[in-house]
Amino acid sequence: MDAEDLRRYVKFDEDAVHRETVYETEHLWAQVLCLDVNQSHGPVSDPAADAILTIVAGEAVVLVGAGRKRLKQWETALVPAKNELSISNASPDPLVILMVAAPPPLMPAGEGAGEPSP
C-alpha cells in the first residue's frame, strides 16, 4: 500500500502555481496544487477525465464550465469531463488543493505526466 503525507508536497513559488503529482496509475491520478496569493490556474480541460477538487487550505474561486463557486477549506467540487476548469486563490492566505482525476488526464505529445490537455 502506498501512503503519503500531503504536507511534503506543499511548496509555493511566487512566479507560478506549484503542482506536484502524488499518485499516478493506469486508472487514477492525484496532484497537489499550491497557489500563492493572487495566483490562478487554468483554464484546463480534459475530454475523458472527471476530477474532484478538495480544498485542503485557504479559499478558492472555482469556475467549472459556466458555473462559479467559492470554496473554503474541506469543501469539494466535481469537474465533469469536457468542462473547462479555472481556479483562483480567493483569500489573503496561500491555497492548497488536492485534485484527483480518473482516468488520468490526457496529454498532448511531448508533455510530462499529469499535465491536463488544454
pLDDT at position 93 is 95
Q: Could you read off the pLDDT tens digit of each residue along the chain, which spans 118 residues?
A: 989 999 999 999 999 999 999 999 999 999 999 999 999 999 999 999 999 999 999 999 999 999 999 999 999 999 999 999 999 999 999 999 999 999 998 764 434 444 444 3
> Where does 37-101 sit in CATH, by number?
2.60.120.10
pTM: 0.87
C-alpha to C-alpha distance for 117 and 55, rounded to whole angstroms: 22
Beta strands in 1-118 (DSSP E): 18-24, 29-35, 40-44, 50-57, 60-64, 67-71, 76-79, 85-89, 95-102
| CA 81, chain centre distance (Å) | 14
